[in-house]
Amino acid sequence: MVVPYFPGCTLSTKAQGMDRSARASLRALGLELQELPEWNCCGAAFPLTTDDLRLAGAVRNLVQTAALGQDRLLVLCSTCYNVTKRANRVMGEDGARRERINFFIEADYDGRVEVVHLLDFLRDEIGFEMLREKVVRPLEGLRLAAYYGCYLLRPAEEIALDDPENPHLFEDFLSALGVEPVEYPHRGECCGSYLALGAPEVALESSYRILSTARASGAEAIVTSCPLCHYNLDRPQQEMAVRYGGFHPLPVFYITQILGVALGLDTGDFGFEKHYVDPRPLLERIPVAAAIY
């Protein structure tokens, strides 16, 4: 089956490992990702939107999807997912803004495309039970902390992927891969987001809390679907090691990387070498698959 796919800017540049592991993993599951033709940046900052111009980019991508005759768009990056889904909701529910945006981009779009994330896509399209059967390298004994961050959960009524206070979708996914998901308190707290640029101290503190409580709860690594969270959680661990006594580094995986590992894929182009905290030693513990696709 062919699935229309919006990679977004970061997955095409800094987070190429996420993009490549996504394509390889879904191919292994019998799904071909079809990159949206002539896609553009989603706009990236829906929450900061003061006029409808910012929505135009995301809407244009949705228009492209509809033009393919598709009614569904897979978005992997948490930020792109959040922005695109919310922009789509505006087009579906807010008549006045729909008219204005359509006029501006010379389109006639009504929010008919469903914006899906990898988590609900796998749950609904393949099913976690079926996914479990496709796993050839079960990640048994690996204690991973699902990190939702903000964008996968909030605003609750607009994203509606899971209960923002007690989510379980990510953990259900990890369980299907054989992982024992770790319960820790800050899986839905903000990593610091763009404060990494304007107030790096605040972002560092936020990320440190997430990492340290995950570790204290027994996690050996964090899994995220957000390149911005990855940036805030992975790279600053160098600084954290200096600043916080007793800090132990914790690898941060992309959700698609961990999926690819469990599916027994060749991880050579998953981009692990670009992570600040190298996750490969942890993976060496997991027995290599008996059969490789």
Partner 1 sequence: MDGQNGIPRALVIGAGIAGMQAALDIANAGFEVVLVERQPSIGGHMLQLSETFPTLDCAQCILTPRTVEVGQHPRIRLYTYAEVDRVEGKAGRFRVRIRRLPAYVNWDLCTGCGLCQEKCPAKTSSEFEGGVGLRKAIYTLSPQAVPKKPVIDPASCIYFLRGKCRACEKLCPTKAIDFEQRETFVEEEVGAIVVATGFDLYPSAELGEYGAGKIPDVLTGLQFERLLSASGPTAGQILRPSDGRIPKEVVFIQCVRSRDPERGVPYCSRICCMYTAKHATLYKHRVPDGQAYIFYIDIRSAGKNYEEFIRRAMEEDGVLYIRGKVSRVFAQDGKVVVWGADTLSGRPVEIAADLVVLATALVPDPDAHRLAEVLGLELDADGFFREQEANLRPMETDRPGIFLAGAAQSPKDIPDAVAQAGGAAAKVLTLFRKWGGGGPSGR
Minimum gap (Å) between residue 216 Cβ and partner 1 = 7
Candidates 16, 7, 22; CA nearest to 265 is 22
Give the C-alpha separation, 281 to 266, whole Å: 15
Footprint (CB under 8 A) of partner 1, residues 196-235? 213, 216
Give the nearest distance from C-beta 21 to partner 1 in angstroms.
Answer: 31
Burial class of residue 146 in the structure, from the number of CB atoms within 10 Å of its CB (0-12 exposed, 13-18 middle, 19+ buried): buried
Is the bond into 155 cis (omega within 30 degrees of 0)? yes
* Interatomic CA distance for residues 94 and 134, integer angstroms: 42
Q: Could you give the C-alpha distances from 112 to 63, 65, 115, 147, in angstroms and in order?
A: 9, 10, 9, 30
In 30-182, which ranges are E strands? 32-35, 72-75, 114-116, 143-146, 180-181
Under the binding rule (CB under 8 A), the answer on residue 50 touching partner 1 is: no
Site string for partner 1, 90-129 (x = CB under 8 A): ----------------------------------------
Task: Tell which one of 38, 51, 129, 165 touches partner 1 (CB under 8 A).
Answer: 165
The correct pick among 141, 185, 218, 287 for binding partner 1 (CB under 8 A) is: 185
Instruction: Find the part of the chain contacting partner 1 (CB under 8 A) among 32-40, 183-191, 220-228, 244-252.
Output: 183-191
Q: Which of 125, 189, 239, 269 binds partner 1 (CB under 8 A)?
A: 189
Q: Which span (102-110, 159-167, 239-247, 248-256) binds partner 1, by CB under 8 A? A: 159-167
Which stretches of the chain bind partner 1, using CB under 8 A? 163-166, 185-186, 189, 213, 216
